[in-house]
Amino acid sequence: MPSRQEVSYFGAGPAPLPTSVVEAGAKAFVNYNDSGLGLGEISHRSPTANKILADAKANLSTLLDIPDNYEILFMQGGGSGEFSAVVQNLVPVWIERRRRRAEAEILKANPGTEKDQLNELVYQRLQKEVDEELKLDYLITGSWSLKASQEAAKLVGSKYVNVALDARKANDGKFGKIPTEETWSLTPTKREGGKGSAFVYFCDNETVDGVEFQSFPKSLEAQGQDEEDERLVVADMSSNFISRKVDVSKYAVIFGGAQKNIGVTGITLAIVRKDLLPPHTATPPPTLLHRLNIGGLPGPVVLDYATIAKNNSLYNTLPIFNLWIAGQVMADLVSEFGAQKVSGQEAVANKKAQLIYGALDKYPAVYQVVPDKSIRSRMNICFRVSGGDDAKEKEFIAGAEKRLLQGLKGHRSVGGMRASNYNAVPLENVQKLVQYLEDFANGQ
């Protein structure tokens, strides 16, 4: 039976955790701070739970330099739940902005309009604008962004979903490249002669396909102060959260499941700009959303950002043990890197990724990295062995297992190999993998 220290795990998620956190978690699950209760048993509304929540928020804010005008939410449902949540929360923001504008313009043109008549005129205008102008922009660069776009189409209807980019069209029907931004078909903003979209979604790192955006897309940069000139950018960072420095101010929403870089399954993080929440932006009444007949709206309360924010992430029972694990991981990073914050972890992640890619690129006849070099993921390194030869790939996996290098098999939908280089994967484990890549390529 191998020890924890002997196993090198490269699974894509649930992913490895720092051993120190696992060991502390084992004690906390049985008897937290000598209270006689474990963290799986305490009330989520207790002072202890509230402190765990506050500490987790503080550490995430420190790591990412999250501005004060953002709300940090801890939710459930994973990244897939957030596919629905962003639609549920941001389409009503689009509607409310249009409702306010319509009401103001109608009253200006017809002062003294009675309330019932005004509401009817506003509704008629909104219905026309929804039918003709509502768009949700999706950049599809891999399996998860594809799923996100499909969920949006299921909720509100495919006619409202604008696939601004489908990377497969530039790569023989497969993911692995991101075409240049001038080829994207984003919904034009007011400044560009259009009306703008409700939001633009992209997956910052595609776990299955090994594709990662190397920087924030220039075409999504802020264009002005007018609401119709703004693109509300939503980023799914489930698999590269707290692995590199991020300018949070460029985003309307950042979300991700915890089970890659942050913790265990059961906690979802969402960072949401406060002006998209009440009281800054009111939530349209359910009766209006029903009348506008936009499928899937309003959605379930547990995915409602306004409700979760109002209740400090405690509207329903938050799994405090899972939250504590995530909080400990973040606290350890704050302690380890100090003033460097998440940039310290970014340097480590980059070094590990460079070692693995360096070994793969050294033997092009044996290993073929799947994604284009310009978009290679630092977190999920996808490659084939001998061009995808089934026997060779089975031999590679068998040899890796003998050395206790585990979790290297690619996602079932694409096959091949995948070495996930998450934060908790130690440098020494990466060095063991690199040595195996060398040895296998040289027939040892």
Per-residue pLDDT of the chain (444 residues; tens, 9 = 90+): 899 999 999 999 999 999 999 999 999 999 999 999 999 999 999 999 999 999 999 999 999 999 999 999 999 999 999 999 999 999 999 999 999 999 999 999 999 899 999 999 999 999 999 999 999 999 999 999 999 999 999 999 999 999 999 999 999 999 999 999 999 999 999 899 999 999 999 999 999 999 999 999 999 998 777 787 899 999 999 999 999 999 999 999 999 999 999 999 999 999 999 999 999 988 899 999 999 988 889 999 999 999 999 999 999 999 999 999 999 999 999 999 999 999 999 999 999 999 999 999 999 999 999 999 999 999 999 999 999 999 999 999 999 999 999 999 999 999 999 999 999 999 999 999 999 999 999 998
Same domain, 354 and 313: no
Same domain, 192 and 246: yes
What span, in angstroms and rounded, lies between the C-alpha atoms of 389 and 1? 32
Q: What is the CATH number of the domain that holds 365?
A: 3.90.1150.10
Measured in Å, how far apart are the chain's first and last C-alpha atoms? 25
In DSSP terms, 376 is beta-bridged to 211
Which has the closest alpha carbon to 251: 83, 67, 94? 67
For residue 36, being part of any structural domain is answered with: no
For residue 193, being part of any structural domain is answered with: yes
For residue 355, being part of any structural domain is answered with: yes
What span, in angstroms and rounded, lies between the C-alpha atoms of 425 and 260? 11
Total length of the chain: 444
Query: Within its chain, how far is the Cα of 271 from the centroid?
Result: 10
Which has the closest alpha carbon to 404: 432, 435, 437, 366? 432
Residue 390: which domain range? 341-441
Sign of torsion over alpha carbons 160, 375, 204, 230: negative
Same domain, 315 and 407: no
If one counts the domains in the chain, the total is 2
Query: Within its chain, how far is the Cα of 332 from the centroid?
Result: 22
For residue 120, being part of any structural domain is answered with: yes
Q: Is 415 exposed, middle or buried (0-12, 13-18, 19+ CB in 10 A)?
A: middle
- Token pair 């050294």 is found at 362
What span, in angstroms and rounded, lies between the C-alpha atoms of 391 and 322? 40
Token representation of residue 432? 């063991």
In DSSP terms, 382 is beta-bridged to 418
Query: 342-362 vs 427-441: helix axis angle to the nearest 10?
Result: 10
- Residue 362: what pLDDT? 98
Same domain, 262 and 352: no
H helices of 14-167, in order, are: 19-30, 47-64, 78-109, 115-133, 143-156
pLDDT 10s digits, 274-301: 999 999 988 899 999 999 988 889 999 9
Token representation of residue 82? 């957030």
Token representation of residue 248? 């949070």
Instruction: Give, as one character, the DSSP assignment of residue 158.
Output: G
Q: Name residues whose C-beta falls within 8 Å of residue 15's C-beta, 6 or more positions apart in sequence.
A: 9, 259, 260, 261, 420, 422, 424, 425
Query: 78-109 vs 115-133: helix axis angle to the nearest 10?
Result: 130
What span, in angstroms and rounded, lies between the C-alpha atoms of 355 and 430? 8
CB 246 within 8 A of CB 226: no
What pTM value is reported for the model?
Answer: 0.97
What span, in angstroms and rounded, lies between the C-alpha atoms of 306 and 281? 10
- Residue 223: what pLDDT? 77
What span, in angstroms and rounded, lies between the C-alpha atoms of 208 and 13? 11
Same domain, 316 and 347: no
For residue 27, being part of any structural domain is answered with: no
Which has the closest alpha carbon to 196: 159, 217, 226, 166? 226
Secondary structure (3-state) at 254: strand
Q: What is the CATH number of the domain that holds 300?
A: 3.40.640.10
- Residue 7: what pLDDT? 97
Same domain, 97 and 165: yes
Same domain, 291 and 392: no
Q: Name residues whose C-beta falls within 8 Å of residue 140's C-beta, 6 or more positions apart in sequence.
A: 146, 149, 163, 165, 166, 167, 168
Same domain, 311 and 209: yes
Parallel, antiparallel or unpaired: strands 405-406 and 8-9: parallel
- Residue 374: what pLDDT? 96
- Residue 226: what pLDDT? 77
Same domain, 365 and 290: no
